[in-house]
């Protein structure tokens, strides 16, 4: 079966890497792909109708979508209208990520635990509410803001500034509506699940490191590293997550008649009153996917076909017990301004240690791999326990260098502290 993957980051590299191991896989295409992907043909198309044409003319048996923006733009609707098999919610269901107010209403309607929130479409009402509630408070642009639309404000001034930025157009249309949300405290975990609208199967738990610097300090990023499993998700907590989050999610999808044949990612805060949903994503997480898929024993392609075909009930996933750790190597200055085009050395040596190096912001220039983005590589390794996985990942990281390479030295510190 030929496969088309949409996206070009570390997440898509991990998906391509895992699908390539499937005996079912024929030719693998990726749009746009990245230079780290082996035996994958790059497809230089972005228009959704052209991609659907490509899928028809290249006998693509399954299309897997990485990024949320493509799902929110309605790629699944276009492909399915042409009878093409695709993994991803349709445009309406993708609003679970595309609109935080849509997601909040969904959670309220179906009884999923989440932070209290109010939605505003003008600055004066938002500021009045802020005055009443005080800080800490969380300010969220309603729409997609590439991970930058959330401010956890510790002071009223910070919140007021964030509200002003949204209504002032900092996030374009995504900030025309703003959520003010109760600030929750606890440890975060990511629960990512396959869902075909009838069955929901969670993948291994994981935890992401969103802050740029060690000790979870500095600005929010797309994710500086991840590990799986997340020990905060104990067997007991899994039961609660099943009962209070995954089952009501599935029931909600059915009651609201949403076409959800895709990946649901619940970002959780584990509070002292139990797990609460901070956000939904309607796709795999990045870099969680790199950590999760290196632990998956089963055939990902087979499972994704089942998601698209609505026969997920027949799938059983098996996992390696060994934990995994993904360390993101980033450009100096990320998530702010950074330079591109720095030659990267040591990639082969890093892989010789047994780690997998997933590319994200890289490019091939005159036969040399150079940096081409903020998050450049995701160095991922398993180990017999979490300490060994951390050691293996950093041993591989030590092989790699470029001018200005930056990374966190403390990925998985919470898991290490729990031992
Ligand atoms: P989101 O894009 O909604 O996942 O938010 C990004 C990050 O902001 C989350 O990973 C949390 O660290 C933080 N966050 C979001 N909502 C809340 C909340 N209600 N309370 C505390 N922190 C939050
Ligand atoms: N790592 C967080 C995300 O993918 O949204």
Binned at pLDDT 50, 70 and 90, residue 19 comes out as very high
Q: Which ligand is located closest to the Cα atom of residue 152? A: 1
Residue 145 has what pLDDT?
A: 86
Residue 280, phi then psi, degrees to nearest 5: -110, 145
User: Is residue 206 within 6 Å of ligand 2 at its C-beta?
Assistant: no
Q: Is the alpha carbon torsion for 22, 28, 34, 36 positive or negative?
A: positive
3-class DSSP assignment, residue 140: strand
Residue 148 has what pLDDT?
A: 78
Binned at pLDDT 50, 70 and 90, residue 350 comes out as very high
Spatial neighbors of 398 by CB under 8 A, at least 6 apart, are none
DSSP 232: T
Binned at pLDDT 50, 70 and 90, residue 76 comes out as very high
**Tokens 């584990």 sit at which residue?**
270
Residue 307 has what pLDDT?
A: 98
Q: Which ligand is located closest to the Cα atom of residue 148? A: 1
User: Is residue 7 within 6 Å of ligand 2 at its C-beta?
Assistant: no
Binned at pLDDT 50, 70 and 90, residue 419 comes out as confident
Binned at pLDDT 50, 70 and 90, residue 342 comes out as very high
**Residue 67 tokens, joined:** 């990024």
Q: Which ligand is located closest to the Cα atom of residue 289? A: 2
Strand partners for 9: none
Looking at CATH, the fold of the domain delimited by 324-418 is given as: 3.90.600
Ligand 1 test: best mutation among 101, 183, 267, most atoms within 8 Å of CB? 267
Looking at CATH, the fold of the domain delimited by 122-176 is given as: Dna Ligase; domain 1 (3.30.1490)
Beginning with the edge strand found earlier in the chain, give each strand of the sheet holding 178-182 in spatial order.
Answer: 117-120, 178-182, 137-141, 150-153
Residue 149 has what pLDDT?
A: 87
Binned at pLDDT 50, 70 and 90, residue 48 comes out as very high
User: Is residue 281 within 6 Å of ligand 2 at its C-beta?
Assistant: yes
Closest CA to 103 of 81, 72, 82: 72
Q: Which ligand is located closest to the Cα atom of residue 378? A: 2
Spatial neighbors of 102 by CB under 8 A, at least 6 apart, are 95, 96
CATH architecture for segment(s) 186-314: 2-Layer Sandwich (3.30)
Mean of the per-residue pLDDT values of the chain: 96
Judge whether residue 147 has pLDDT over 80: no
Residue 110 has what pLDDT?
A: 98
H or E stretch at 30: strand 28-32
How do the domains of the chain map onto residue ranges? 2-88, 122-176, 186-314, 324-418
Judge whether residue 311 has pLDDT over 90: yes
Binned at pLDDT 50, 70 and 90, residue 89 comes out as very high
Atom of ligand 1 nearest to the CA of 100: 3
Residue 385 has what pLDDT?
A: 97
Q: How far apart, in whole angstroms, are the C-alpha atoms of residue 190 and residue 277? A: 10
Ligand 2 test: best mutation among 98, 150, 203, 208, most atoms within 8 Å of CB? 208
User: Is residue 288 within 6 Å of ligand 2 at its C-beta?
Assistant: yes
Residue 271 has what pLDDT?
A: 97
Binned at pLDDT 50, 70 and 90, residue 172 comes out as confident
The larger pLDDT score, comparing residue 149 to residue 305, is at: 305
Find the 57 Cα to ligand 2 centroid distance in Å. 33
Judge whether residue 174 has pLDDT over 90: no
Residue with the smallest CA separation from ligand 1 atom 1 is 279
- Can you give the pTM of this predicted structure? 0.96
The pLDDT of 402-407, averaged and rounded, is 97
Q: How far apart, in whole angstroms, are the C-alpha atoms of residue 409 and residue 225? A: 10
Find the 391 Cα to ligand 1 centroid distance in Å. 29
The larger pLDDT score, comparing residue 160 to residue 149, is at: 160
Query: What is the rounded end-to-end Cα distance, in angstroms, of the chain?
Result: 43
Span 190-233, pLDDT tens digits: 999 999 999 999 999 999 999 999 999 998 888 999 999 999 99
Residue with the smallest CA separation from ligand 1 atom 13 is 152
Strand partners for 343: 370
Is the Cβ–Cβ distance between 376 and 330 less than 8 Å?
yes
Atom of ligand 1 nearest to the CA of 149: 2
Residue 418 has what pLDDT?
A: 83
Q: The domain 2-88 is classified under which CATH number: 3.40.50.20, 3.40.50.1100, 3.40.50.1260, 3.30.1330.10?
A: 3.40.50.20
Residue 309 has what pLDDT?
A: 97
Find the 226 Cα to ligand 2 centroid distance in Å. 10
Apex 16 CA angle, 249 and 315, nearest 5: 45
Span 365-379, pLDDT tens digits: 999 999 999 999 999
- Least confident range of 161-165, 168-172, 381-385: 168-172
Residue 331 has what pLDDT?
A: 98
């Amino acid at each position: 079966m030929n496969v088309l993957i949409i996206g070009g980051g570390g997440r898509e590299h991990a998906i391509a890497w895992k699908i390539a191991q499937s005996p079912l896989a024929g030719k693998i295409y990726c749009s746009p792909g990245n230079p780290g992907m082996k035996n994958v043909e790059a497809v230089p198309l972005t228009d959704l109708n052209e991609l659907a044409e490509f899928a028809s003319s290249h006998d693509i048996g399954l299309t897997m979508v990485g990024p949320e923006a493509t799902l929110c733009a309605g790629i699944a609707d276009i492909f399915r209208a042409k009878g093409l098999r695709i993994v991803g919610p349709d445009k309406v269901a993708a609003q679970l990520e595309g609109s935080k107010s849509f997601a909040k209403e969904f959670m309220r309607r179906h009884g999923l635990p989440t932070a209290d929130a109010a939605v505003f479409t003008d600055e004066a009402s938002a500021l009045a509410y802020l005055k009443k509630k005080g800080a800490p408070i969380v300010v969220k642009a309603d729409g997609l803001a590439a991970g930058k639309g959330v401010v956890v404000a510790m002071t009223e001034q910070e919140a007021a500034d964030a509200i002003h930025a949204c209504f002032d157009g900092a996030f374009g249309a995504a900030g025309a509506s703003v959520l003010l949300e109760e600030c929750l405290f606890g440890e975060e975990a990511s629960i990512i699940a396959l869902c075909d609208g009838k069955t929901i199967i969670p993948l291994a738990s994981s935890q992401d490191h969103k802050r740029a610097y060690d000790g979870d300090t500095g600005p929010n990023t797309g994710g500086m590293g991840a590990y799986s499993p997340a020990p905060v998700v104990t067997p007991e907590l899994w039961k609660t997550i099943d009962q209070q989050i995954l089952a009501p999610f599935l029931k909600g999808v059915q009651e609201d008649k949403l076409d959800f044949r895709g990946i649901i990612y619940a970002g959780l805060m584990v509070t002292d009153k139990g797990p609460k949903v901070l956000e939904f994503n309607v796709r795999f997480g990045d870099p969680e996917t790199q950590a999760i898929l290196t632990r998956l024993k089963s055939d990902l392609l087979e499972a994704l076909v089942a998601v698209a075909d609505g026969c997920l009930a027949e799938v059983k996933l098996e996992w390696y017990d060994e934990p995994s750790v993904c360390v993101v190597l980033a450009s100096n200055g990320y998530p702010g301004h950074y330079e591109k085009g720095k030659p990267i050395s040591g990639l082969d040596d890093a892989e010789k240690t047994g780690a997998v190096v997933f590319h994200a912001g890289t490019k091939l220039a005159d036969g040399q791999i150079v940096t081409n983005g903020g998050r450049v590589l995701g160095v991922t390794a398993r180990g017999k326990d979490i300490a060994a996985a951390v050691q293996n990942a950093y041993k591989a990281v030590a092989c790699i260098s470029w001018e200005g390479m930056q990374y966190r030295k403390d990925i998985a510190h919470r898991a290490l502290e729990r031992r």
